[in-house]
A and B are shown apart, each in its own frame.
Chain A
Amino acid sequence: DQQVKQNSPSLSVQEGRISILNCDYTNSMFDYFLWYKKYPAEGPTFLISISSIKDKNEDGRFTVFLNKSAKHLSLHIVPSQPGDSAVYFCAASRNFGNEKLTFGTGTRLTIIP
């Protein structure tokens, strides 16, 4: 039972353009969401998070949007840079992040120079 789904295993984007990574969830009790980035042979790195009391959170080139009615969140990277090439995981939690995370399966983003 995959409660957090990233339906695109891979995505290629031209350098300088916008990258949009999508994540869907099925558990309506999830109210806190995180994105992690992972390079090969390294551990994941926390990127950005959002609580269900907001529908948008920005940090530099990274913006996360949350659509609670659709149970959908997306990560926008603008502009995309070669160093953004990595696997991106979304994760969800209940109780505003105070319960264990459920991870998606990841999307491999490749930025084409």
Chain B
Amino acid sequence: NAGVTQTPKFRILKIGQSMTLQCTQDMNHNYMYWYRQDPGMGLKLIYYSVGAGITDKGEVPNGYNVSRSTTEDFPLRLELAAPSQTSVYFCASSYTTQQPRIFGPGTRLTVT
């Protein structure tokens, strides 16, 4: 039981590049989330999913896309990376409701 795993741990992107942050959970949780944390700030919700095939926007969805084709995987896609997307990204999951209970270790992304 690995919990929530995220890859990569670190990434440096150039402005305008694209990438996908991977997130997988093995707990059969219905809810999955993507948060970003900027220095000195709380976590902001980017996107969430209540089950396979269902996704919805959070507070800060601009510049990102998600998909949820399986219960286990919830990748986050960055198109045309911008310096404002420099942040630490956390994926999380929970069995029910909007309360993320298990977080992944995070991906530190720098866009230069």
Contacts and interface: CB of A to CB of B under 8 A. Distances in A.
A105 B98 contact: no
Q: Pick from B43, B48, B59, B97 the residue with the most CB of A within 10 Å.
A: B43
Contact of B43 (A32, A42, A44, A93): A44
Nearest to B106: A43
Interface string A63-104: 000000000000000000000000001010100011111111
A81 B28 CA distance: 34
A97 B98 contact: yes
Contacts of A9: 40
A106 B88 CA distance: 15
A53 interface: no
B42 A4 contact: yes
* Main SS at interface, chain B: loop
A79 to B, nearest CB: 26
Residues of B in contact with A, size category = 20 to 34
Interface in B23-74: 40-45, 48, 58-59
Contact of B41 (A49, A91, A93, A105): A105
B98 A45 contact: no
Interface of B: 4, 40-45, 48, 58-59, 90, 92, 97-106
Q: Which 7 A-B pairs have the closest CB atoms?
A: A43-B103, A103-B42, A103-B43, A46-B101, A105-B42, A44-B103, A97-B97
Given A93-B98, A100-B98, 8 more contacts: A34-B99, A42-B106, A44-B92, A91-B42, A97-B98, A100-B58, A103-B43, A103-B44
30 contacts: A4-B42, A9-B40, A32-B99, A34-B99, A42-B106, A43-B4, A43-B90, A43-B103, A43-B105, A44-B43, A44-B90, A44-B103, A46-B102, A49-B99, A89-B42, A91-B42, A93-B98, A93-B99, A97-B97, A98-B98, A100-B45, A100-B59, A100-B98, A101-B99, A101-B100, A102-B42, A103-B42, A103-B43, A105-B41, A106-B42
